[in-house]
Amino acid sequence: MPTKQALKETYERWYGKALIHLAKQEWEEARLCLNSAVRAYADLTSKTPQGETKEVQQDWLFDLAAELEHLEKKTEIEKVKEKLTERKEKETEPFEVGIPSVTFDDVVGLEDVKRSVFLKAIYPRLYPELYAKYKMKVGGGLLLYGLPGTGKTMIAQAIAHETKGKFFAVRCSDIGSKWFGETEQNIRRIFDEARSYDNAVLFFDELEAYAGKRRDDSAMSRVVPEFLTQLQGVMDEERENKLLVIAATNRPWDIDGAFLRPGRFDDKIFVPLPRKESRVEIVRKKMEGVPVSGEIDYEKIGEMTAGYNGADVAYVCDKAKETALRRVIEKLEEDEGVTMDDFIAALTSVKSSVNADDEKRMRLWDGSQNDFE
């Protein structure tokens, strides 16, 4: 068992550390040290006769009480300052608002996807009278789902470009907050800002991050209802406001089912991996204006990139160009350009980033939606 002297030294050590942390405004560390000092004080008191060191103990107790009170006030002040700073930053932080330069010509392949997008998202804005005549809705929600790197964000940007709508790219940091109730307020703020424009596209990437399945003890149990309320509001006021809400997800099975019901994201479009002809076209586009040496077998590259997403194929091109560029810089040869061997080497080092299990699960989920529809 510790002696009285050892307990006293322990108290003084923790109390001294607490004072150092307080001076540095390290409030949490100071609180932990003061709590350790309190425990040492309590142990010492239990071993010391009441009258023997009463005066000293009262001094210690006064010091502890004063510092804990000081710490509590400082901590609360810092919490308030931090919360106000975070709220001010979110309120003043500009959204990525504007009309994107990306067009559907930049989206290689995906012709079936483009036709669906035009019918469900673009034509209603270009021909509103015609859609009104046929009593078809304008506005609402569109969900793009598919594996990573398949071009979902580019499609959303191209929609905004085609409809000349202000494009709001919403990030997780625009919504998330550690403060209770702040996330719901941020969702309302984002929708209100988008509604202030006559024609806007509100894009949520990685929807599952804001609209995940609810559990009783999760933050989603508060966030999801607010998101649903705002989304339903877009549907109710679609005649007055041309606000299109687009969301993209790599994991649609993680989204709360309420978002997939009619009146929310009832238009769902699967964005698949690029087919061979699309992969060939991606390579051709990436190599436009780039010096080459010898014949580049684009068809073979298309075959060798089976199972790659669009981003992977683009990266293969970048790696091949990087190899050729390095040769020139190191003066190993004249500037003859990219060779087929450069592509073979790139394909050896760059493998598909597509997860086979996710691909299988995505197709199963897509099949279940088509069966339901």
Residues in Cβ contact with 353 at an 8 Å cutoff, skipping those fewer than 6 apart = 148, 149, 308, 309, 311, 312
Judge residue 213's burial from the number of C-beta atoms within 10 Å of its C-beta, 0-12 exposed, 13-18 middle, 19 or more buried.
middle
- Domains of the chain as residue ranges with CATH: 4-91 (1.20.58), 111-273+362-372 (3.40.50.300), 276-353 (1.10.8.60)
Question: 95-149, pLDDT tens digit by residue?
Answer: 556 778 889 989 988 899 999 999 888 888 888 888 888 887 766 688 999 999 8
* pLDDT surpassing 60 at residue 78: no
- What's the pLDDT score for residue 65? 57
The answer to which of 16-25, 78-87, 137-146, 300-309 has the lowest mean pLDDT is 78-87
Question: 197-241, pLDDT tens digit by residue?
Answer: 888 888 988 888 877 777 655 555 677 788 888 787 776 655 555
Residue listed under structure tokens 């705002």: 230
Long-range pairs for 76-82: beta carbons < 8 A, 24 or more residues apart: 78/25, 78/27
CA–CA gap between residue 55 and residue 363 (Å, rounded):
76
The answer to which of 30-44, 79-93, 164-178, 347-361 has the lowest mean pLDDT is 79-93
Task: Give the total residue count for the chain.
Answer: 373
pTM: 0.69
CA–CA gap between residue 168 and residue 37 (Å, rounded):
52
* pLDDT surpassing 50 at residue 371: no
* pLDDT surpassing 80 at residue 61: no
* pLDDT surpassing 50 at residue 372: no
* pLDDT surpassing 80 at residue 44: no
Task: Order across the sheet with 199-204: list the strands.
Answer: 166-170, 199-204, 242-249, 140-145, 267-270
CA–CA gap between residue 240 and residue 128 (Å, rounded):
12
pLDDT band at 56, cuts 50/70/90?
very low
- Collapsed DSSP state (helix, strand, coil) of residue 78: helix
Residues in Cβ contact with 244 at an 8 Å cutoff, skipping those fewer than 6 apart = 121, 125, 139, 140, 142, 159, 163, 165, 200, 201, 202
As a dihedral over the C-alpha atoms of residue 217, residue 222, residue 227, residue 229, rounded to 10 degrees, the angle is: 130
Sequential DSSP letters for 55-75: HHHHHHHHHHHHHHHHHHHHH
Residues in Cβ contact with 49 at an 8 Å cutoff, skipping those fewer than 6 apart = none
- What's the pLDDT score for residue 321? 94
Phi-psi region of 363 (alpha: psi -120 to 50; beta: other; left: phi over 0): alpha
CA–CA gap between residue 233 and residue 152 (Å, rounded):
25
What is the SS3 assignment for 201-220?
EEEECCHHHCCECCCCCCCH
DSSP symbol at 259: G
**Percentage of residues of the chain with pLDDT beyond 70:** 72
